[in-house]
């Protein structure tokens, strides 16, 4: 099976936040964007909206910092996953994620992040504009996407100040 990767295109994002709603319903059974695994970062004055979610990093900081090896790479989907049976809820992964993609659910007492909906991302399914997409990739494409993500990350840091 060819490898796939989730990509985002902020130029296509309208800021509708449907992806957040769909994600929270899929994973929590409630329409609560704060529990979504994808978030739209908005700069309303500029008309710029950036879908942010786990990048499933090759050298994932969340995986490196986990004291119980509860965060691992799923080779089949080439994604970073959480084994909640091993997780102790220390939240170190939440603090080191450079994309702010890890979250903490106090009701469940567990961390969470994008799991690509086990290969069928619902945010992609419902995004009419295709601001988020799940596509086959090659190593060259991945490197270009990674560089673009780093550039957007830097832009976000500048706007956060």
The domain that contains 73 carries what CATH number?
3.30.70.20
pLDDT of residue 161: 63
pLDDT of residue 1: 64
pLDDT of residue 46: 85
Give the residue ranges of the chain where pLDDT is below 70: 1, 139-140, 142-143, 160-161
pTM of the complete model: 0.80
Render the burial of 37-57: b for 16+ CB within 10 Å, e for the rest.
bbbbbeeeeeebbbbbbbbbb
Instruction: Say how far apart CA 9 and CA 144 lie, in whole Å.
Output: 13
pLDDT of residue 103: 94
The count of domains in the chain is: 1
CA distances (Å), 26 to each of 2, 29, 31, 33, in order?
A: 25, 6, 9, 11
pLDDT of residue 150: 82
Q: Which domain holds residue 124?
A: 4-160
pLDDT of residue 155: 80
């Amino acid at each position: 099976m060819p490898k796939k990767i989730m990509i985002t295109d902020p130029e296509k994002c309208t800021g509708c936040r449907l992806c957040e709603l769909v994600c929270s319903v899929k994973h929590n059974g409630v329409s609560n964007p704060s529990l979504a695994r994808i978030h739209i970062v908005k700069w309303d004055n500029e008309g710029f909206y950036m879908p942010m979610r786990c990048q499933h990093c090759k050298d994932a900081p969340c995986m490196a910092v986990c004291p119980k090896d509860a965060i691992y790479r799923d080779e089949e989907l080439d994604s970073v996953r959480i084994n909640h049976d091993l997780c102790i809820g220390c939240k170190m992964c939440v603090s080191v994620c450079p994309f702010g993609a890890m979250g903490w659910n106090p009701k469940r007492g567990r961390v969470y992040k994008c799991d690509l909906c086990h290969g069928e991302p619902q945010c992609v399914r419902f995004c009419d504009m295709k601001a988020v997409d799940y596509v086959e990739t090659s190593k060259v494409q991945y490197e270009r996407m990674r560089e673009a993500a780093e550039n957007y990350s830097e832009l976000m840091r500048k706007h956060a100040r």
